Amino acid sequence: MPFLYQALVGVFLLPSSLPFILPRPRPFNSLLHAGGEGGEKEWSKALSESTTAAPGTGEADLFRSGLLSAPSDPSRQASSALLTWLENEGDVYLSDASSWSQAPHPMAVSTLTVDEATNESTGRGLLARRGINEGDQLLGIPLDLCMTKSTAFEYLNEGKNGNPLLKDSSGRGPISPATNEYIAIACFLIYEKYVRGPDSFWKPYLDVLPTTSEVGCTFTWDDSDLSYLTGSPVMSATTSMKIKLRKEYEAFVTHPVDGVKNRFKDVMGGEDVFTYEQWTWAFTMLFSRAIRLQNLQEGETVALVPYADLINHSPFSTSYVDARQEGSWLFKTGREEVVLFADRGFRKMEQVYISYGQKSNADLLLLYGFALERNPYNAVDVSVSVGGGEEGEGGGELLRKKVEFLERAGRGGIIDFPIYADRYPIEMLEYLRLMLLTEEDLGDRELEDFDYSRTVSSMNEASVLANIIGACEGQLARYPTTEEEDLAIISDKAKFRDISKNARMAVRHRRNEKRLLARTVAALRKEMDSRGLEGLQSRGELKSAEGDTEGVSLRGDDKKFMNKKRTRLERQLDKMGLDVDIR
């Protein structure tokens, strides 16, 4: 439709199409809309990008730009089949052609996106077909087409959409009200893909899901690739996750009495289905793609959302996928949908991003299979502890009081704290100020009388900062290579390309961890010097500040995750809704 004609339609027909309420007009800013100096060329470019192109030209442009594979490519055909399924089954308007009541869908699926910083492939992504304005609605997917625990129950236990009704000898289905959301959806994924197969209602969606190796979460890496992460805290988190997944598999799938393999051995596809490899694949999909929808009528739920889960992550995005009731604020249909709005303007052919949350590269590697070169939330976990790692062991009366104080506060004697590039958490300072408090600092007061967010004494503060330095230097000592050696590996482009993609990510990741730790050490030493505390350490006076409190820093992998309290990662996964206890 010509641009001028669209404008006239908007002027003369809008009141009848929206008789009750009109959107508030946005203030017109020619400079912003022109995208630059406001000159004639910029204005023409902005006008061209906002004009609806002929149907099909968007995909043709992507193909010419190397962002879309050939029409005969299976990945492109699978993407097309997914869009057709969404349109037919969910009435989702995804066409690049405008209709009388619908504007063209603003995005197109790219099968060949890449990370701009590393030039590594990032698989599918969504790109702007035309100029997108801040606040534009980018998608609306009916909740009926999303995979949730409720969906798993309806299809597996109740036989929805022609599925066989699954009941064991006692009349129970695979999913119970007590089943964890992630486990329920994992069971559903495996059944639909490997048992129902071509007969599954969800086949077009299942066909675009990647393989385990294509995602590359660290808990799926082989030992050769994992060896590149030696010394990194990601190693212990990866080991813990493997233990957790294996335990859940044995409890839900292979348990001799309650496992679904035993209970449904005649209808679950035999020995070739519900293998541990398929279990790992299902959880890889969930960790890397599942979204927690919070604004539902009946509370929150974890969901796999077709099409929306093709959007890649940017830590600088403020867009989040969530749910709402369909319709205007005045007229609701009662049906729920998953929606996304643009957090900023996008140029034509620019990739659209959302935020997966404020995650460090360690979190991204473990759960999503990638790390970012420019990540403002990147952090390295270091641990501080009481008495060298054994809570309450050794020390005197003051140490006992401190351990009891921590227990009353719901904290253990070994705690992980994230160290960021530009800061370390105040909670770490508070913890160490407590643990390094001496009898002299205490005087006739009680531990509860102190404000640990403030400096207790010069000697105490010097010990605290020296402890953090020791934790960072101890972590640096765990790596078998230096930052300079990692840089040399990366700089030799021919050899760097010869190692696997996972290994390349690992080398970049461990180098970034070392850079972060080294900057923290340098900043702390500068702070100690500026506050006149460096001299206390050089004169060896900090030992007296520690007294009999035994406040120490643990070194890297000596954390002994099997004996630790819950880690920061576990607490984060709890917030995601996954009940984990990685030990």
* Mean pLDDT, residues 95-108 taken together: 83
Cβ atoms within 10 Å, residue 414:
22
Give the separation between CA 411 and CA 240, rounded to whole angstroms: 21
Nearest to 182 by CA among 305, 304, 293: 304
502 with 216: CB under 8 angstroms? Answer: yes
pLDDT recorded at residue 381 = 86
pLDDT recorded at residue 550 = 40
Residues 6+ positions from 162 with CB-CB distance below 8 Å:
201
**Per-residue pLDDT tens for 507-531?**
999 999 999 999 999 999 998 888 8
pLDDT recorded at residue 18 = 34
Q: Which H helix or E strand runs over 106?
A: none
306 with 146: CB under 8 angstroms? Answer: yes
Per-residue tokens: 543: 């030992």
Per-residue b/e over 44-54, b at no fewer than 16 CB within 10 Å?
A: ebbeebeebbe
Bridge-based pairing of strands 312-313 and 353-354 is parallel
- The distance of Cα 137 from the centroid of its chain, to the nearest Å, equals 23
Measured CA to CA in angstroms, residue 386 lies from 55, 434, 477, 532, 540 at distances of 66, 11, 21, 27, 21
pLDDT recorded at residue 409 = 80
**Per-residue pLDDT tens for 371-393?**
999 999 999 988 776 654 344 44
Q: Any idea what the Cα angle at residue 208 is, between residues 207 and 214, rounded to 5°?
A: 110
Cβ atoms within 10 Å, residue 371:
25
Which residue shows structure tokens 């062991």?
393
**Per-residue pLDDT tens for 468-511?**
888 888 889 999 999 999 999 999 999 999 999 999 999 999 99
Give the separation between CA 53 and CA 286, rounded to whole angstroms: 36
* Mean pLDDT, residues 93-104 taken together: 82
**Per-residue pLDDT tens for 140-174?**
999 999 999 999 999 999 999 888 888 888 889 99
**Per-residue pLDDT tens for 20-67?**
333 334 444 444 444 455 566 666 666 555 555 555 666 777 777 777
% of the chain beyond a pLDDT of 70: 77
H-state helical runs in 91-232: 149-152, 181-190, 203-206, 212-215, 223-226
Nearest to 9 by CA among 100, 97, 96: 100
Nearest to 191 by CA among 128, 252, 109: 252
Number of helices (H), then strands (E), belonging to the chain: the values are 24, 12
Sequence letter at residue 203: K
**Per-residue pLDDT tens for 216-226?**
999 999 999 99
pLDDT recorded at residue 439 = 87
Q: Looking only at Cα atoms, what is the longest distance across the chain?
A: 84
Per-residue tokens: 391: 């809570």
Cβ atoms within 10 Å, residue 219:
23
pLDDT recorded at residue 557 = 36
Give the separation between CA 156 and CA 175, rounded to whole angstroms: 7
190 with 260: CB under 8 angstroms? Answer: no
- The distance of Cα 581 from the centroid of its chain, to the nearest Å, equals 19
550 with 386: CB under 8 angstroms? Answer: yes
pLDDT recorded at residue 545 = 41
Give the separation between CA 177 and CA 156, rounded to whole angstroms: 13
- Torsion angle of C-alpha atoms 486, 488, 491, 497, degrees rounded to 10: -70
pLDDT recorded at residue 334 = 65
Give the separation between CA 390 and CA 408, rounded to whole angstroms: 18
Measured CA to CA in angstroms, residue 175 lies from 30, 184, 259 at distances of 57, 6, 11
| φ, ψ of residue 351 in degrees (nearest 5) | -75, 135
Say yes or no to pLDDT of 88 above 90: yes
Say yes or no to pLDDT of 320 above 80: yes
Domains and CATH numbers, the chain: 57-146+305-377 (2.170.270.10), 148-291 (no CATH), 379-576 (3.90.1420.10)
- The distance of Cα 105 from the centroid of its chain, to the nearest Å, equals 27
pLDDT recorded at residue 531 = 83
**Per-residue pLDDT tens for 227-255?**
999 999 999 889 989 999 999 999 999 99
Nearest to 306 by CA among 68, 59, 89, 73: 89
Measured CA to CA in angstroms, residue 464 lies from 51, 58, 93, 96, 145 at distances of 61, 58, 59, 60, 53
Residue bearing the bigger pLDDT, 407 or 327: 407
Residues 6+ positions from 156 with CB-CB distance below 8 Å:
163, 166, 173, 174, 175, 187, 188, 191
* Mean pLDDT, residues 442-448 taken together: 90
**Per-residue pLDDT tens for 560-571?**
333 344 455 555
Enter the DSSP assignment of 307: T
What value does the mean pLDDT of the chain take? 81
Measured CA to CA in angstroms, residue 335 lies from 63, 86, 128, 321 at distances of 36, 16, 27, 17
pLDDT recorded at residue 181 = 94
pTM: 0.81
Say yes or no to pLDDT of 77 above 80: yes
Say yes or no to pLDDT of 358 above 60: yes
**Per-residue pLDDT tens for 180-220?**
999 999 999 999 999 999 999 999 999 999 999 999 999 99
Residues 6+ positions from 529 with CB-CB distance below 8 Å:
none
pLDDT recorded at residue 49 = 56
